[in-house]
Amino acid sequence: MNLQPLHSQGPSLSRIVTGVWRWQQLSSESVERLIKTSIDEGITSFDHADIYGDHRCEELFGAVLKNQSALRSQMQLITKCGIKFSSAKRPQTWIKHYDTSEDHITWSAENSLKMLATDHLDLLLIHRPDPLLNPHEVAEAFVKLKAAGKVLHFGVSNFTPSQFEMLQQFLPFPLVTNQIEISLSRIDSLFNGDLDLMIKHGASPMAWSPLGGGKLHFEERDWFAKATKYNASYSQLALAWLLKHPSNIFPILGTTKPERISEAAKSTDIVLDKQDWFEMLKWSTGRDVA
Ligand SMILES: NC(=O)c1ccc[n+]([C@@H]2O[C@H](COP(=O)([O-])OP(=O)(O)OC[C@H]3O[C@@H](n4cnc5c(N)ncnc54)[C@H](OP(=O)(O)O)[C@@H]3O)[C@@H](O)[C@H]2O)c1
Q: How does pLDDT run across 77-89, given as a tens digit for each residue?
A: 999 999 999 999 8
> What pLDDT digit, counting tens, does each position of 214-257 carry?
998 888 888 899 999 999 999 999 999 999 999 999 999 999 99
Q: Is residue 280 part of a domain?
A: no
Q: Is residue 206 part of a domain?
A: yes
Q: Look up the domain containing 83 and give its range.
A: 3-218+247-267
pLDDT reading at 206 higher than 80: yes
What is the whole-number distance in angstroms between the Cα of residue 262 and the centre of ligand 1?
15
Known active-site residue 52: yes
**Mean of pLDDT values over 260-284:** 97
Q: Is residue 232 part of a domain?
A: no
Q: Are strands 45-47 and 97-98 parallel, antiparallel or unpaired?
A: unpaired
The per-residue pLDDT for 200 is 98
Residue nearest to atom 36 of ligand 1 (CA): 255
The per-residue pLDDT for 2 is 86
| Closest C-alpha to 253, from 38, 89, 11, 24 | 38
**Ligand 1 pocket check: which of 14, 18, 20, 21 to mutate, most ligand atoms within 8 Å of Cβ?**
21
Q: Is residue 274 part of a domain?
A: no
What is the whole-number distance in angstroms between the Cα of residue 56 and the centre of ligand 1?
17
Q: With beta carbons less than 8 A apart as the criterion, state whether 204 and 250 touch.
A: yes
The per-residue pLDDT for 217 is 82
Q: Is residue 279 part of a domain?
A: no
Separation in Å, CA 74 to CA 12, 15, 111, 124, 278: 12, 15, 22, 18, 37
The per-residue pLDDT for 196 is 98
Q: Is residue 166 part of a domain?
A: yes
> What pLDDT digit, counting tens, does each position of 131-150 carry?
999 999 999 999 999 999 99
